Amino acid sequence: MAECEKITVQERLKDAAKSLGIPRLIIFGFLALLFVAALFLKLDIASLFSNVLTRLGMNGILVLAMVPTMQVGMGPNFGLPLGITCGLVAATLAIELNLVGWTAFVFALGVAIPLGGLAGYAYGLLLNKLKGEEMTVGTYFGFSIVSLMSIFWAMAPYKSPEMIWPYGGSGLRVTISLAGRYDKILDKFMSFSIGGIVIPTGLLLFFALCCFLMWVFMRTRTGIAMTVVGNNARFAESIGLNVNKNRLLGSTISGALGAVGIIIYSQSYGFLQLYQAPLFMAFFAVGSILIGGASINHALIRHVVIGTFLFQALLVTSLPVANLLVSENLSEVIRIIISNGIILYALSRKEQGGEAK
């Protein structure tokens, strides 16, 4: 296993050095260092790997949601909490209707996709009036939605005893357990283990399916049109593409993916997190895709997979290593520094192509 890791690291080092260099190089180096430290500290490498794989599938779709908006030139979707809350509404509805297992999961997805899409569409309408300021407005729009939805969670007339506070009163709990509903339903689907490494087959297959669909979509006529709009809006307009329509499409898909993403995330995590939990999720997703090598207005599936893997691997390995070496839980801090550091780096790079408005 160690050898396999070495080869990928070497390949990636070359690749990273060639394409965008320093930040990914540093992160790979750091990851390799952590890995070596983990070996020396005799940590359970198998469980580390299982963790990384699970987290890859768990977070992957939220990161994938960044691709359509970045490709169409709207920048990373900092308004992701909008899609996330739609997904949470769908997930809580499934519990409220007392659905169990696959029915609940499929129902949640079935509600989440149109709901997230619709929200994304409305958000796109707003952003079409604010070209060039999508990131700033999106950040605060996302924050506002999270606080507005907090009021919703606190007042919504849900009845299911699994979700409301046990001592009565109105409103939903902060975290809702999915045990007995669809806890780890994808993770356990066709799951098996090799040498102690648990492979969450269903989860990874679902992530791969989403990536594949996105990959195919970006190669269709519509997908290429979106990329053209993202590369140079003026040029796109001159050849007869409707810039606003394409941007709306990007925002819609991103919203729907955000909604799906949180359902996948929560089934793997085992809990629905309401209220303030989605507040910073967008930043970690943006950080992930940028670590993968994307730039503000250019993102590929490859960037999603590499980025999510790197970011999660870093978190998973750094936690136990840091625990043993410095006896402090610095995982959250490292997460904040890395994701925001990489966003800053991406912001400070000169954008290529026309900044048409």
Return all residues near 349 (Cβ < 8 A) that are at least 6 apart: 295, 296
Q: Which lies closer to another protein via its Cβ, residue 181 or residue 298?
A: 298
Among 130, 179, 209, 216, binds another protein (CB under 8 A): 130
Task: For the segment 165-194, give every residue that binds another protein (CB under 8 A).
Answer: 170-171
Rounded to whole angstroms, the Cα distance separating 292 from 66 reads 12
Question: Is residue 269 a contact point for another protein (CB under 8 A)?
Answer: no
Residue number, 146 or 260, with CB nearest to another protein: 146
Nearer to another protein, 165 or 212 (CB): 165
Query: What mask, x for binding another protein by CB under 8 A, covers residues 28 to 67?
Result: ----------------------------------------
Cα distances from 123 to residues 57, 129, 314, in angstroms, run 26, 10, 33
Nearer to another protein, 114 or 132 (CB): 132
Site size toward another protein (CB under 8 A) is 40
CB of 347 to another protein, least distance (A): 5
Q: How many CB atoms lie within 10 A of CB 285?
A: 30
CB of 57 to another protein, least distance (A): 26
Q: Give the single-character DSSP code of 239.
A: T
The one-letter amino acid code at 3 reads: E
Judged by CB under 8 A, the stretch of 30-38, 101-109, 139-147, 228-236 that binds another protein is 139-147
- Per-residue binding string, another protein, 281-310, x by CB under 8 A, is --x---------------------------
Q: For residues 23 and 152, give the distance between their C-alpha atoms in angstroms, rounded to a whole number.
A: 40
Chain-centre distance of CA 324, in angstroms? 29
Is residue 132 involved in binding another protein (CB under 8 A)? yes
Binding mask 98-127 for another protein (x = CB under 8 A): ----------------------------x-
Structure tokens at 19: 């394409």
Least gap, CB of 147 to another protein (angstroms):
4
Cβ atoms within 10 Å, residue 278: 26
* Distance between CA atoms of residues 35 and 314, nearest Å: 9
Q: What is the CA radius of gyration of the chain?
A: 20
Looking at residue 199, the DSSP 8-state letter turns out to be E
Segment 318 to 357, residues that bind another protein, using CB under 8 A: 326-328, 330, 333-334, 336-337, 340-341, 343-344, 347-348, 357
- How far is the C-alpha of 144 from the C-alpha of 95, rounded, in Å? 26
C-beta of residue 266 within 8 angstroms of C-beta of residue 133? no
Distance CA 209, CA 205 (A): 6
Residues forming the site for another protein (CB under 8 A)? 126, 129-133, 135-137, 139-141, 143-144, 146-148, 150-151, 154-155, 170-171, 280, 283, 326-328, 330, 333-334, 336-337, 340-341, 343-344, 347-348, 357
